[in-house]
Amino acid sequence: MLRVQHGLIINESVETVFPTLADFEAEPRWQPAVLETKLDPAGPVHIGTKTIQKRKFGGRTITTIGEIVEYEPNRRIVSRSTPENPPPAFETIYEVEPVQEGTHVTYTIELRGPGLFNLIAPLMKGSLTKDIKTRFATLKTILETRHSLSER
C-alpha cells in the first residue's frame, strides 16, 4: 500500500474552496497530469457519481474510474476505485475545515495493488508527493488570486 497525505491552508472560505474541489471536470486546470475528467451521470456530484479520468502517468495516458462514496457538502468527499478500474485500486479523500486564515484542506490518497505494485510503491512515493504538492500549490494560487477555473 502507498499512502500520501498533504495539508495546506487556502486563504478563502470553505464555501469557495469546497465547490472547487467538487468540480471534478475542472481538475485539468489545476492538476497538470489530468487530461480530462467526465462524470457519470453528468451534473452535480453526489454519492454514486462515477469519475472517469484520463491522466498522464509514466509517459502513458491511463484511465481511472472512481465512485463518490461519501459526500458531505463543505466538509468531505471520498472517492474509491470501481471494480473496472485498472490496478492499483485507490481511495482519495478531500477534507476541508474553516480556520482563522481561511480553509484548511487535507488531501489523502491510498493506492493498493497486487504483488509487483508493492515492490515499486516506495519508489513512487516521492514523485506522487511532489505532484500533489504542485497541484495544490496551483489550486491555492488560483483561488487566492480569484481566478475562476472556467477562465482557462
**CATH (domain of 54):** 3.30.530.20
Residue-range definition of the domain harbouring residue 60: 2-145
Is there a domain that residue 127 lies in?
yes
Is there a domain that residue 85 lies in?
yes
Number of domains composing the chain? 1
Confidence of residue 84 (pLDDT cuts 50, 70, 90): very high
Alpha carbons within 13 A on the beta-carbon side of 110 = 7
Give the pLDDT confidence score for residue 149 in this predicted structure.
Answer: 57
If one counts every other C-beta atom within 10 angstroms of the C-beta of residue 110, the result is 16
Is there a domain that residue 36 lies in?
yes
Q: Are 137 and 131 in contact (CB under 8 A)?
A: no
Residue pLDDT, tens place only, 103-152: 999 999 999 988 778 778 888 899 899 999 999 999 999 999 975 555 44
Of 147, 129, 125, nearest in space to 29 by CA: 147
Q: Are 96 and 21 in contact (CB under 8 A)?
A: yes
Is there a domain that residue 54 lies in?
yes
Rounded Cα gap, residues 109 and 90, in angstroms: 7
Where helices occur in 60-147 by DSSP H, the ranges are: 115-144
Pairing between strand 89-99 and 76-81?
antiparallel
Is there a domain that residue 151 lies in?
no
Residue 96 has pLDDT above 80, yes or no: yes
